[in-house]
Amino acid sequence: MAYGKGQTKDMLKRMADLGHPVMSDDLSKLRSRCLAITKQMAKAGFSTHVTNPVPNGKDLDATMLRLQRDLSKARVLNVVWIEKCRLLAKSAILEQMMRRQRNLFGRFYHIDTLGGRQLPDGTSRLVNLPEEWSYRLDAEDVAVLKTLAETMDFREAMGFFGQIHAGEKPAHLTNAQRDALIALMDQVQERFQCPVWDPEAVIQLHLDYRCIKGTQRALSSALEAIDSGLDQGRPAAHQIALASHTARGAGIPLEIKLAQGTSQSIHEHQDPDRPYRMTGLALELGPEAAQLRGILARPKATMDLSEITHVVAEDFGLVNTSSLVVLELPGSIDPEALPTTNKTKAQSRKYLSDNVSGADIRLVESLQLSGRNFLARINEMAGAVDRLRSEIDRSYNRLERIRLEINRLLGRDPRDIVEEAVPAAPRGLNAADTDRLMRMHGRFFRLLGGIGKMKARRRGIYRSLAGLKKSWFGHIANIRMRLASKYRALVVSEKLDYLAIPTDETGYKGRTFNRMINNGARAQYTSRADNKLDWRGIPQIKIPAFYTSCTDWRNGHVDKAQRRGEVFTAAVDRERWHADLHAAEMIGRWLFLRPRNTVAQAAA
């Protein structure tokens, strides 16, 4: 998301809806030409093979700027939009190249990972290799490759694969082991190709002053008009003209509309101590509709805890997505008395064992948001993705076998690409083989089309999944924010961004499910919820997650056996709580634990 840069880089930023301009012919032409140029830019900068080093920004700019100059001279598009295309392509291909190498390294390091379902003949599936290699590699081969992977860091592994790609054969590997690694590279190479913006893509163009007729003065006038509406909580409108899609062409008229509801909602959360201002515009162009957005920026809040007397604490889970409690403190917070939150696992255990919480901290409110229906729907989607992935992998294996047969009949190299044009039968090929060649060629492209459809279905599931998570996590984040605003409270939560369920745990439900929920969902929710708090200026503190779910804060007893499923049973007096609500209360009390003797004296 483009927010501009320079004087606002250290500020918090949000997008505001500024209406849907009419998708005129000029805007359609601008979009189509930008898509074409962005595709060319991406192709020029994208490295051809996964083992090629990912270029740094300057090297990539040097390559793409040459193309930018050539395109500018050819006048295929206004130079200002060509530069925007370069910036779009640059970020996309850098991300794709880094993801491609990380994926190769991850697959190599986890090359021994087996799927939950066996192949038809009972063979265990090696999920990080093409299916045929589950049959071709024995346990000793896999063990050798796993041991080799564990001896290398990321840089060493990329160099090692580079040597194999160059045709070298490591002396300590058999031909089968080397070929398996080549197949692994080919699989990653196939999956992470140069980014392509398809006809349905929505492109976002950050509108700096060069994109607008009248340059800086015109842009400033537009931003001031919108700011004026926001200051009063009223609607606003303004006309600007975008630079044409052709050099020296007539401007493209664009109307900015700040609706009453949007203006009022933003105005209600204006903070005199942290005023926001409109710092830029972004235009999103889809195949049939346009969206104009404004970029709001405001200074970050200075965390002042001296008047806070309440804490909102949250335990994030899977079944109970969010367990929230509100605690009332005996007095305002003394920032100097707060313990450090940068504790290791051992330090956290000692801190929780040596310190306790008394009855002077009172539970005011609690609630839980069940995620059972959400998880059921996500699990259903994840299962569909797994089935599609398996079918796509099998189809690619069939496609490879057909390609080998076609190239054999044509007398070509087995790795040659199969052209879409129907090939001419080689001289001397008998009638039966000629007929087989024609049938295999047709089957190849029918199968390739089927793979494309399955990939499209998979992308659709991913889009639905993203929308479902966005809606659910946004709902939870709003509830937490409203609680914090109601009590003017400090929000305390765990550092949970990248926790994952081990594969041998009963809660593990498969590789896709684990990746979508246990990793990605926590990170997405944390980012969404914390950004809302930052924007509203609500203070928050993250504490270590170690032992919060298995500690009795009354006596400092730390024991995992105290938590069993959804029940926490204290080992000392057998007192019982709901486990997630108990964990949330422990999180809320974490910052305010005191040495045992101090709490005991206060209670006496």
DSSP string for 324-380: EEEEE-SS---GGGPPPS---HHHHHHHHHHEE--TTSEEEEEEEEE-HHHHHHHHH
pLDDT band at 414; cut points 50, 70, 90: confident
Question: Are 258 and 220 members of one domain?
Answer: yes
| DSSP 8-state symbol, 546 | T
Q: What is the pLDDT of residue 273?
A: 82
The domain boundary, picked from 300, 329, 357, lies at 300
Question: Are 120 and 252 members of one domain?
Answer: no
Question: Are 351 and 434 members of one domain?
Answer: no
> Does the structure show a pLDDT above 90 at 164?
yes
- Please state, in angstroms and rounded to a whole number, the distance separating the CA atoms of residues 198 and 525: 29
Three-state DSSP at 504 gives: coil
Question: Are 500 and 362 members of one domain?
Answer: yes
What mean pLDDT comes out for the span 544-570?
Answer: 93
Query: Which two tokens mark 345?
Result: 């696992």
525 near 560, Cβ under 8 Å?
no
Residue 34 belongs to a domain: no
Containing structural domain, residue 290: 7-18+202-300
**Whole-number mean pLDDT of the chain?**
88
Q: What would the pLDDT profile of 87-126 be if each residue is shown by its tens digit?
A: 999 999 999 999 999 999 999 999 999 887 777 788 888 9
Residue 27 belongs to a domain: no
Q: What would the pLDDT profile of 498-526 be if each residue is shown by its tens digit?
A: 444 444 443 444 455 445 455 556 667 78
pLDDT band at 162; cut points 50, 70, 90: very high
Among the listed ranges 3-17, 248-262, 386-400, which one has the minimum average pLDDT value?
A: 3-17
Q: Which conformational region is residue 488 in: left (phi greater than 0), alpha (psi within -120 to 50 degrees), or beta?
A: left
Query: Which two tokens mark 469?
Result: 């998570």
- Please state, in angstroms and rounded to a whole number, the distance separating the CA atoms of residues 515 and 498: 10
Question: Are 482 and 581 members of one domain?
Answer: yes
Residue 37 belongs to a domain: no
176 near 126, Cβ under 8 Å?
no
Q: What is the pLDDT of residue 526?
A: 80
% of residues, the chain, pLDDT over 70: 93
Three-state DSSP at 299 gives: coil
Q: What is the pLDDT of residue 3?
A: 41
The domain boundary, picked from 438, 471, 504, lies at 471
Question: Are 336 and 485 members of one domain?
Answer: yes
Q: What would the pLDDT profile of 576-585 be if each residue is shown by its tens digit?
A: 999 999 999 9
Question: Are 156 and 75 members of one domain?
Answer: yes
**Residue 401's CB: how many other CB atoms inside 10 A?**
12
Q: What is the pLDDT of residue 49?
A: 93
Question: Are 364 and 500 members of one domain?
Answer: yes
Task: Give me the number of domains the chain comprises.
Answer: 4
Q: What would the pLDDT profile of 305-340 be if each residue is shown by its tens digit?
A: 888 999 999 998 767 788 999 999 999 999 989 999
Residue 26 belongs to a domain: no
pLDDT band at 241; cut points 50, 70, 90: very high
551 near 345, Cβ under 8 Å?
no
- Please state, in angstroms and rounded to a whole number, the distance separating the CA atoms of residues 550 and 558: 6
Residue 36 belongs to a domain: no
- Please state, in angstroms and rounded to a whole number, the distance separating the CA atoms of residues 602 and 357: 11
pTM exceeds 0.75: no
Three-state DSSP at 201 gives: coil
- Please state, in angstroms and rounded to a whole number, the distance separating the CA atoms of residues 532 and 517: 21
> Does the structure show a pLDDT above 80 at 477?
yes
Question: Are 244 and 356 members of one domain?
Answer: no
**Quick one: angle between helices 175-191 and 154-165, nearest 10?**
100
Backbone angles phi, psi at 381, to 5 degrees: -65, -40
Residue 31 belongs to a domain: no
Question: Are 293 and 340 members of one domain?
Answer: no
> Does the structure show a pLDDT above 80 at 550?
yes
Question: Are 502 and 361 members of one domain?
Answer: yes
Question: Are 284 and 417 members of one domain?
Answer: no
Q: What would the pLDDT profile of 189-211 be if each residue is shown by its tens digit?
A: 988 999 988 888 899 999 999 99
Q: How many CA atoms lie within 13 A of 158 on its CB side?
A: 14
Q: What is the pLDDT of residue 535?
A: 87
Residue 76 belongs to a domain: yes
The domain boundary, picked from 279, 300, 321, lies at 300
> Does the structure show a pLDDT above 50 at 386?
yes
Q: What is the pLDDT of residue 2?
A: 41
Residue 161 belongs to a domain: yes
